[in-house]
Structure 1
Amino acid sequence: MRKKYVGIVAAPGAPDAIARKIKKNLPDALADRFEEDFEWEVQIYVDPLTNYAELTKELFQKTDEYYGENDWDYTMFITDLPIYHNDHITVVDINEATDVGVVSLPAYGWPPNRKGVLNTIVTLITSVQGDNDRARATRDAAGRKSMVNAFKPYFKMNRLHYDSDYREETGSEHSIYQIDDNLRGYLRLVSGMSWANNPFNMLRILSSVVALAFATGAFGMMFSTMWNLSNIFSTGRLLAVSLLAVTGMVTWIIISHNLWETKNQETDHRFLRLYNGATILTLLISLAFYFVVLYFMFLTAGLVMLPPDYVLRNIGEEEMNIRFYLELAWFATALSTVAAAIGAGFQDKSIIQESTYGYRHRFRSQKMDRE
């Protein structure tokens, strides 16, 4: 049985994780698409690929390096960089001379569809098999339409279309499948970048902040002032307090950890909006989970520590139901989040900064320079 080798080069983090998830299913998926009976072997390499999104020419230069240095039948790249071409967001880029494919993971949105990435790679590999098939798939109108239709199910909210261009860094024509850079495209890209930032990892980093917030709120729950305030606050007021607390915490974390990207010679306005948008969304997602976890902790504490009869004597009500405990937990969570924001400022800056695009790519750049 003839052996076929597929090399997947992935950036660290989310691209590497999704590459390893699809590795197991890729040989079977390829076997179903090919009439010939091949034995498929998938190899995964982790490489920072490049540092800044606006310097993607380095990414395409690396694709040529890997193609020349490895004896793979098919070479695929998965990057966490947002890639633009003629003011459109690139989803897939194929080098027509080498058949090397580049998949931009952020373009798949939140969360990146693992099945979609798997099928994208399978479609790319099957489209480049053989010289004649390759020409039909990329240059023939019917072939291009077939490729667009194959990718379209994973971009239902965005218009996917085809383009081609000559890239100087590879010295060849490229087939490019892209989506429009409109509001929907921007939101898809930012959400995909937020997934790559791994907001759940940031939540683990803030575990000590959760402990501080719970200690502060649990102490306050022992006094009738918090009971009375939560009891008289309307739902709208509780919601306003919560939004104010979360917004304040997001702002404080950004300021105290220098997470806001500013204009410089290497970063243009478009990528600044992406970097900062992804940072804000990452923090909001992390704090949303943080808020839910803390809420249920306070709800449990209230139900355990506060007997209804004792509370009724202090709030001047004749009866009490579960709503009191729900609103008390909500109020305690919002109030303690303000105290937690101060604690967040004392967390290790480098750990939190690793969950943002600008810092992570600067770190990769410095590492590549040292190597």
Structure 2
Amino acid sequence: MTKRYVGIVAAPGAPDALAKKIKKDLPDILAEHFEEDYEWEVEVFVDPLTNYAELTKELFQKTEKYYSENDWDYTMFITDLPIYHNDHITVIDLNEKTEVGVVSLPAYGWPPNKKGILDTIVTLITSVQADNDRDEAARDDTGRDSLVSAFSPYFKTSRLHYDSDYREETGSEHSIYQIDDNLRGYLRLVSGMSWANNPFNMLRILSGVVALAFATGAFSMMFSTMWNLSNIFSTWRLLAVSLLAVTGMVTWIIISHNLWETREQEADIRFLKLYNGATLLTLLISLVFYFIVLYLMFLTAGLVLLPPDYILRNIGEEEVGIRFYLELAWFATSLSTVVASIGASVQDKSIIQESTYGYRHRFRLQNKEKD
């Protein structure tokens, strides 16, 4: 039985975690796609360079290094870099000479489906093998069109198209599969970058803030002032208070942790918009889940600690239903979020900053310069 080796080089964090999941399933799926009796072995390496923002030249030079230093039959790179080619968003870049593929994870949007990435790698490998089996003269654009058709189901909101270009850093032609850099493409890229930032990890970091907010809000719930206000506030007013609270907390976290990228920090306006958009979306996703968790905590506390008969004697209503408790929990969550934003500023800055592209880019760039 002939052994075949697949090397996957992934950026640390989300791409690395996804690559390790793919590693378990890839050998069996490849065995099903090839008639030959191959024994497939998959190796995963983590390389920080595949996470340098904008340093695509170094990225493609690194692919050459891995290709020459490892005896792999197929080499795939998974990066969380947003990669551009001729003002289009690159999804897949395949070196025609070395047949090394680079997959840009953010271009797959939120979340980058494991099956989608797995199918992409399998399709690239089978396509490369099919090209190798054909004579050079027999190769045409049919194979490229079939790849576009194979990848397109994962880009239903964006049109995927093919292009080719010569890259000086690799000294060879590249087959490039890309999507348009329009509003839909931008939103897809930003959402994918936010997934790579791991907003749920940021939520875990803010667990101390949740405790502070709950302690403050639970104490306020004991007084009739909050009961009366939540009872007389309309749904629209409660919604406005919530939006103001979340907006204030996002703004405070960005300012206190220096998360907003400026022209002095980032020269390319295109990446500046991507970084700041991804930071905003990451924080909003984290705080939405934070808000839901805190709301459920206050709803439970209100139902347990506040008997309806006792509340009736203070708010002048004839009866207290479930709506009262729902609105009270909503109001308490909004008010405590304002207090919690102050607590967020004293959290470990480095941990929160590491959840943003701009900070990781500058940190790794500084380490590169030191090396």
* Secondary structure at 1:280 match in 2: helix
* Secondary structure at 1:20 match in 2: helix
Inter-partner Cα distance in structure 1 for 2:135 and 2:350: 48
Q: Equivalent residue for 1:248?
A: 248
**1:85-104 to 2 correspondence within 5 Å?**
85-104=85-104
What is the Cα deviation at residue 49 of structure 1? 2.0
Change (3 A) 1:9 1:59: same
Spell out, residue by residue over 1:140-167, the C-alpha distance to the aligned partner (whole angstroms, 9 max, x if none).
2211110001101100110000000000
* Secondary structure at 2:259 match in 1: coil
Q: Is contact 1:127–1:133 with CA below 8 Å preserved after alignment? A: no
Inter-partner Cα distance in structure 2 for 1:313 and 1:137: 89
Q: Is contact 1:138–1:175 with CA below 8 Å preserved after alignment? A: no
Spell out, residue by residue over 1:301-345, the C-alpha distance to the aligned partner (whole angstroms, 9 max, x if none).
000000000000000001110000000000000000000001101
Inter-partner Cα distance in structure 2 for 1:265 and 1:254: 15
Inter-partner Cα distance in structure 2 for 1:33 and 1:39: 12
Q: Equivalent residue for 2:304?
A: 304
Inter-partner Cα distance in structure 2 for 1:178 and 1:20: 25
Inter-partner Cα distance in structure 1 for 2:57 and 2:16: 21
**100-109 or 132-141, which moves further after superposition?**
132-141
Q: Equivalent residue for 1:282?
A: 282
Q: Equivalent residue for 1:48?
A: 48
Q: Equivalent residue for 1:157?
A: 157
Identity of aligned residues (%): 84
2:189 matches 1:180: no
Q: Equivalent residue for 1:293?
A: 293
Inter-partner Cα distance in structure 2 for 1:275 and 1:225: 42
TM-score for both structures, normalised by structure 2: 0.97
**84-93 or 127-136, which moves further after superposition?**
127-136
Q: Equivalent residue for 1:27?
A: 27
Spell out, residue by residue over 1:93-140, the C-alpha distance to the aligned partner (whole angstroms, 9 max, x if none).
000000000000000000111000000000011111165447779962
Change (3 A) 1:301 1:137: farther
Inter-partner Cα distance in structure 1 for 2:137 and 2:19: 25
* Secondary structure at 1:54 match in 2: coil
**1:107-146 to 2 correspondence within 5 Å?**
107-129=107-129, 132-133=132-133, 140-146=140-146
Aligned pair count reads 371
* Secondary structure at 1:264 match in 2: coil
What is the Cα deviation at residue 369 of structure 1? 3.9
What is the Cα deviation at residue 286 of structure 1? 0.2
What is the Cα deviation at residue 52 of structure 1? 4.0
Q: Is contact 1:137–1:143 with CA below 8 Å preserved after alignment? A: no
What is the Cα deviation at residue 37 of structure 1? 1.0
**1:196-345 to 2 correspondence within 5 Å?**
196-264=196-264, 267-345=267-345
TM-score for both structures, normalised by structure 1: 0.97
What is the Cα deviation at residue 361 of structure 1? 2.0
What is the Cα deviation at residue 50 of structure 1? 4.5
Q: Is contact 2:11–2:51 with CA below 8 Å preserved after alignment? A: no
Letter in 1 for 2:352: I
Inter-partner Cα distance in structure 2 for 1:244 and 1:96: 52
What is the Cα deviation at residue 51 of structure 1? 5.5
Please tell me the root mean square deviation across aligned C-alpha atoms, in Å.
1.6
Inter-partner Cα distance in structure 2 for 1:241 and 1:208: 23
* Secondary structure at 2:196 match in 1: helix
What is the Cα deviation at residue 54 of structure 1? 2.2
